[in-house]
């Protein structure tokens, strides 16, 4: 059994070693700069004011996360669109159910007020 | 000749990178990205097999996996936001209330 | 043999799932309305009850549909009943806890329904793709439920840890499914089982790699050592009723899928039994030994749940219908007394400021004699004393192991049970012998809580004395697909 599994094991070892090598290379060989002036954000040579990592209002993240979900769900519409003629009425009703399920999610979001901006 | 083994090699390599990332990274966002990498490596393997076997099942499966990955990412990011609100840090070393 | 190619779209097969989903949707849409929002537990209970009734109706009437993707045999039905009952019990004793911690949200009940539906999907299929989907439908709500207490740092941590470890496990599982798919050209376990010899000859390497990766994925989900590191943290950090939910349903669903895959699909795989006994020995021993020195009851029960997963894995190592039906029996029994003990911990934690440390139990027998008596029964059941169902379950498991020729595995199992007696009885000792300190806080019982305690107590003792019916059911479940 071991001989048969050996190539797979080898693949995993190679993957782990590669990841390890890449990381250790960047740690050991990569030039490290003492964070001084170099660590500062550069903007037209003028000294920066405040930090660049301003926290965004959480609303942006909310919308982004919700967008990912609805965006991905739509990929199921493409395969259906390709063969919608063959599937006929049955496929249409199935898709309607699918969209209805998404709609429930949408109504939930609305009800929770996740899309309100102010 | 460019065959299934090449695709599988890439897939397993990506998978290994993802696993290593989960095991050594200390930043939650990087952890989530590593997990996504693992799922997508598996996707690549499925697509490669599907093509080699000349069946369509694998393609449909990949769509499902993509959706699952999106759902997991959404929940993960939402949790990161909650944690950041409570703690102002996304470094996993600082989460020592419960021993990791 | 069930026809795999039946292209029947028969919605009666998935009616229990539809009922749960409908309940969840009604709850989600009703967040607009204040009054409806408060009805969420009622709607969820109604959905679960309808689902339970339909599932019982499906018993003894095997069907397959959706192009062979969904199978509903007695095995499926038995597990569906187990999932629904555990969710119902959680619902009954969870509400008051959430109200007292000020985290009672309607979403919880919707998530509970959806998660239960995912478990059902996992148990009701022979297709690896659908098993994966069911697993994710089950898991994603669990992650949210673990992190439900948004203001509690522990709960946050439990949520994110569970999410990362769960997704990590899904990655392994998915890679395993990819390799199995690549080597066999199908994801249907029935076809894999039929063509097993053929696959074995031609694509041994990919197939074995796939099987091992799949096993790793599920080992994470059922908390087998060495993939258990997330369990104690998640169990301790999550709100207590949610922890109770984790310890029964998802675990049973994981074992159901494992049963389907490894004892039905890959039945003829040679080395799988070896892997299972190693997992079983490790899981039992590590779980029990680490449980010895826990000061937190939830953490202790987490390790104890790892140990119990080990006992069930013994059945997987042995294989065969006797051991498998013992495993199903044990899952039911474990569900009962574990939910009972979690109900008591929940009840105690409702008192303000309690973190379910072991020391908080001191003097419990004076303050709440009935509660401590019930706790004693559940601890005895967990340790496996007669006349509780815990003893009967272990008895069947280990008899099956001896019959299967795994005598030393049985010996290790029995030794482990002896170790576990120490920490279970310590709970009893603290509650009976140690002096009560601090102020007396009365515990208010709700009718629902009383009902949960009575049901679990009656089950633990009643099934311990008359186990025949449950054994019959679990045998029927196994014979449905063997």
Q: Looking at the partner chain, which of C153, C160, C179 has a beta carbon nearest the beta carbon of B28?
A: C160
CB contact under 8 A, B71 and C140: yes
> Does any CB of chain C come closer than 8 Å to the CB of residue A111?
yes
Query: Per the omega criterion (within 30 degrees of 0), is the bond before C387 cis?
Result: yes
pLDDT band at A12 (very low <50, low <70, confident <90, very high): confident
In chain B, residues with a C-beta closer than 8 Å to the C-beta of C150 are: 82, 86
Q: What does each C-alpha distance from C293 to C53, C125, C233, C286, C299 come to in angstroms?
A: 43, 41, 15, 12, 10
What is C159-226 written as a DSSP string? HHHHHHHHHHHHHHHHHHHHHHHHHHS--BHHHHHHTHHHHHHHSHHHHHHHHHHHHHHHHHHTT-TT
Query: Phi/psi zone of residue B88: left (φ > 0), alpha (ψ -120 to 50 degrees), beta?
Result: left
Region A97-111 average pLDDT: 90
Asked if the model's pLDDT at residue C2 lies above 90, the reply is: no
Asked if the model's pLDDT at residue C282 lies above 60, the reply is: yes
**A8: closest chain B residue by CA:** B12
pLDDT in tens, C228-273: 888 998 998 899 999 999 999 999 999 999 998 988 878 777 788 8
Question: Contact C145/C237 with Cβ under 8 angstroms?
Answer: no
pLDDT band at C6 (very low <50, low <70, confident <90, very high): very low
> Does any CB of chain B come closer than 8 Å to the CB of residue A16?
yes
Q: Give the pairing of strands C63-65 and C70-72.
A: antiparallel
**Hey, CA dihedral for A52, A53, A59, A63, is it positive or negative?**
positive
Question: Contact C31/C135 with Cβ under 8 angstroms?
Answer: no
C-alpha C313/C-alpha C320 separation (Å) is: 13
Asked if the model's pLDDT at residue B75 lies above 70, the reply is: yes
Kindly state whether residue C159 falls inside one of the protein's structural domains.
no
Q: Hey, what are C37's tokens? A: 């929002």
Nearest to C130 by CA among C271, C267, C13: C13
Region B36-53 average pLDDT: 92
ipTM of the complex: 0.93
Number of Cβ within a 10 Å radius of residue C448: 18
Give the pLDDT of residue A15.
82
Kindly state whether residue C333 falls inside one of the protein's structural domains.
yes
Nearest to C394 by CA among C410, C406, C405, C408: C410
Nearest to C249 by CA among C132, C118, C155: C118
C-alpha A43/C-alpha A27 separation (Å) is: 28
The CATH number given to whatever domain includes residue A36 is 1.20.58.1610
Region C344-355 average pLDDT: 79
Q: For residue A93, what are the contacts with CB-CB under 8 A and spacing of at least 6?
A: none
Which residue stretches of A29-118 are H helix? 58-73, 77-82, 84-112
Asked if the model's pLDDT at residue C293 lies above 80, the reply is: yes
CB contact under 8 A, B16 and A12: yes
**Hey, CA dihedral for C289, C292, C298, C299, is it positive or negative?**
negative
C-alpha B58/C-alpha B15 separation (Å) is: 18
Question: Contact C389/C333 with Cβ under 8 angstroms?
Answer: yes
Q: What are phi and psi of C70, to 5 degrees?
A: -120, 130
**A7: closest chain B residue by CA:** B9
In chain A, residues with a C-beta closer than 8 Å to the C-beta of B81 are: 58, 61
Query: Phi/psi zone of residue C319: left (φ > 0), alpha (ψ -120 to 50 degrees), beta?
Result: left
Give the pLDDT of residue B100.
43
Which residue stretches of C104-127 are H helix? 106-123
On average, the pLDDT of chain C sits at 88
pLDDT band at C343 (very low <50, low <70, confident <90, very high): very high
pLDDT in tens, C55-93: 999 888 888 888 888 888 889 999 999 999 999 999 988
Q: Which of B15, B19, B20, B58 should one mutate to test binding to chain A, selecting the residue with the greatest count of A CBs within 10 A?
A: B20
CB contact under 8 A, B12 and A15: yes
Q: Of how many residues is chain A composed? A: 118
Kindly state whether residue A106 falls inside one of the protein's structural domains.
yes
In the numeric block, the tokens 């074992």 are attached to C255
Kindly state whether residue C224 falls inside one of the protein's structural domains.
no
Kindly state whether residue A39 falls inside one of the protein's structural domains.
yes
Is B9 or C47 the better-scoring residue by pLDDT? C47
Region C335-360 average pLDDT: 84
Q: Which domain holds residue A36?
A: 2-111
The count of structural domains within chain A is: 1
In chain B, residues with a C-beta closer than 8 Å to the C-beta of A71 are: 70
Asked if the model's pLDDT at residue A104 lies above 50, the reply is: yes
pLDDT band at B4 (very low <50, low <70, confident <90, very high): confident
pLDDT band at C358 (very low <50, low <70, confident <90, very high): confident
The subunits that touch chain B, with at least 3 C-beta pairs less than 8 Å apart, are: A, C
C-alpha C16/C-alpha C84 separation (Å) is: 10
**Hey, CA dihedral for C377, C282, C303, C124, is it positive or negative?**
negative
Please, is C369 exposed, middle or buried when counting C-beta atoms within 10 Å of its C-beta (0-12, 13-18, 19+)?
exposed
- Nearest-CA distance from C140 to chain B in Å? 7
In chain C, residues with a C-beta closer than 8 Å to the C-beta of B47 are: none
Q: For residue A55, what are the contacts with CB-CB under 8 A and spacing of at least 6?
A: none
Q: Looking at the partner chain, which of A1, A107, A111 has a beta carbon nearest the beta carbon of C208?
A: A1
What is C62-81 written as a DSSP string? -EEETTTTEEE-HHHHHHHH
Q: Hey, what are C212's tokens? A: 């091992």
> Does any CB of chain C come closer than 8 Å to the CB of residue A107?
yes
CB contact under 8 A, C209 and A8: yes
Q: Looking at the partner chain, which of A11, A75, A76 has a beta carbon nearest the beta carbon of B12?
A: A11
Kindly state whether residue C75 falls inside one of the protein's structural domains.
no
Q: For residue B9, what are the contacts with CB-CB under 8 A and spacing of at least 6?
A: A11
On average, the pLDDT of chain B sits at 85
Give the pLDDT of residue C438.
62
Kindly state whether residue C304 falls inside one of the protein's structural domains.
yes
Give the pLDDT of residue C136.
95
Q: Which domain holds residue C407?
A: 273-482
Region C214-241 average pLDDT: 90
> Does any CB of chain B come closer than 8 Å to the CB of residue A20?
yes
Asked if the model's pLDDT at residue A1 lies above 60, the reply is: no
Q: For residue C405, what are the contacts with CB-CB under 8 A and spacing of at least 6?
A: none
pLDDT in tens, C127-146: 999 999 999 999 999 999 99
Region A96-115 average pLDDT: 89
The count of structural domains within chain C is: 1
Q: Looking at the partner chain, which of B71, B86, B100 has a beta carbon nearest the beta carbon of C153?
A: B86
Q: Which of C69, C153, C169, C175 should one mutate to test binding to chain B, selecting the residue with the greatest count of B CBs within 10 A?
A: C175
C-alpha C56/C-alpha C146 separation (Å) is: 30
Asked if the model's pLDDT at residue C4 lies above 50, the reply is: no
Is C150 or C354 the better-scoring residue by pLDDT? C150
- Nearest-CA distance from C42 to chain A in Å? 19
CA angle at B32 for the pair A15 and C130, rounded to the nearest 5° = 85
């Amino acid at each position: 059994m071991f001989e048969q599994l050996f190539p797979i094991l080898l693949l995993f070892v190679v993957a782990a070693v590669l990841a390890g090598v890449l990381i250790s290379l960047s740690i050991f060989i990569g030039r490290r700069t003492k964070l001084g002036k170099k660590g500062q954000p550069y903007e037209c040579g003028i000294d920066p004011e405040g930090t660049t990592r301003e926290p965004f209002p959480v609303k942006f993240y909310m919308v982004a996360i919700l967008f990912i979900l609805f965006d991905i769900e739509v990929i199921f519409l493409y395969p259906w669109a390709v063969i919608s003629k063959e599937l006929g009425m049955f496929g249409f009703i199935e898709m309607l159910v699918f969209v209805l399920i998404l709609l429930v999610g949408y109504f939930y979001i609305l009800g929770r007020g996740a899309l309100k901006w102010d | 000749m460019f065959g299934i083994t090449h695709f599988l090699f890439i897939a397993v390599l990506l998978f290994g990178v993802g696993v290593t990332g989960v095991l050594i990274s200390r930043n939650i966002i990087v952890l989530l990205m590593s997990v996504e990498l693992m799922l997508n490596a598996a996707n690549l393997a499925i697509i490669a097999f599907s093509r080699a076997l000349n069946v369509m099942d694998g393609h449909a499966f990949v769509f499902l996996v993509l959706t699952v990955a999106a759902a997991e990412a959404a929940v993960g990011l939402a949790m990161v936001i909650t944690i950041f609100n409570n703690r102002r840090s996304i470094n996993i070393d600082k989460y020592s209330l419960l021993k990791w | 043999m069930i026809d795999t190619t039946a292209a029947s779209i028969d919605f009666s097969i998935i009616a229990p799932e539809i009922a749960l989903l409908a309940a969840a949707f009604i709850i989600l849409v009703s967040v607009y309305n204040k009054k409806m929002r408060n009805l969420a537990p009622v709607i969820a209970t109604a959905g679960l009850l309808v689902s339970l009734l339909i599932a019982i109706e499906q018993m003894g009437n095997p069907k397959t549909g959706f192009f062979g993707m969904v199978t509903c045999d007695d095995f499926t039905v038995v597990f569906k009943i187990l999932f629904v009952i555990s969710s119902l019990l959680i619902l009954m004793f969870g509400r008051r806890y959430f109200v007292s911690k000020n985290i009672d949200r309607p979403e919880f009940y919707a998530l509970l329904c959806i998660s239960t539906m995912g478990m059902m999907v996992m148990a009701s299929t022979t297709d690896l793709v659908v098993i994966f989907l069911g697993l994710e439908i089950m898991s994603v709500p669990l992650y949210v439920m673990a992190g439900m207490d948004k203001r509690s740092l522990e709960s946050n941590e439990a949520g994110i840890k569970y999410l990362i470890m769960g997704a990590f496990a899904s990655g392994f599982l998915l890679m395993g499914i990819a390799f199995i798919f690549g080597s066999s050209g199908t994801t249907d376990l029935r076809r894999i089982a039929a063509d097993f010899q053929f696959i074995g000859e031609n694509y041994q390497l990919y197939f074995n790699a796939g099987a091992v990766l799949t096993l790793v994925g599920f080992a994470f989900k059922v908390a087998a050592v060495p993939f258990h590191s997330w369990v104690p943290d998640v169990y301790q950090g999550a709100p207590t009723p949610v922890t109770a939910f984790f310890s029964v349903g998802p675990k049973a669903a994981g074992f159901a899928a494992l049963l389907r895959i490894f004892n039905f699909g890959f039945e003829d795989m040679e080395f799988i039994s070896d892997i299972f006994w190693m997992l079983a020995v490790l899981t039992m021993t590590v779980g029990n030994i680490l449980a010895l020195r826990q000061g937190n009851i939830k953490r202790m029960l987490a390790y104890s749940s790892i140990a119990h997963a080990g006992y069930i894995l013994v059945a997987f190592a042995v294989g065969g219908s006797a051991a498998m039906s013992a495993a199903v029996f044990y899952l039911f029994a474990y569900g009962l007394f574990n939910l009972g003990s979690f109900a008591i911990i929940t009840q105690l934690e409702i008192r303000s400021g309690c973190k379910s440390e072991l020391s908080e139990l001191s003097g419990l027998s004076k303050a709440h004699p009935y509660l401590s008596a019930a706790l004693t029964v559940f601890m005895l059941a967990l340790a496996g004393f007669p006349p509780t169902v815990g003893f009967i379950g272990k008895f069947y498991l280990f008899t099956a192991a001896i019959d299967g020729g795994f005598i030393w595995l049985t010996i290790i199992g029995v030794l482990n049970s002896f170790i576990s007696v120490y920490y279970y009885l310590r709970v009893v000792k603290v509650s009976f012998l140690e002096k009560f300190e601090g102020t007396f806080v009365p515990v208010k019982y709700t009718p629902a809580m009383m009902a949960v305690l009575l049901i679990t107590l009656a089950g633990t003792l009643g099934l311990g004395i008359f186990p025949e019916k449950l054994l019959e059911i679990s045998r029927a479940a196994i014979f449905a697909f063997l």
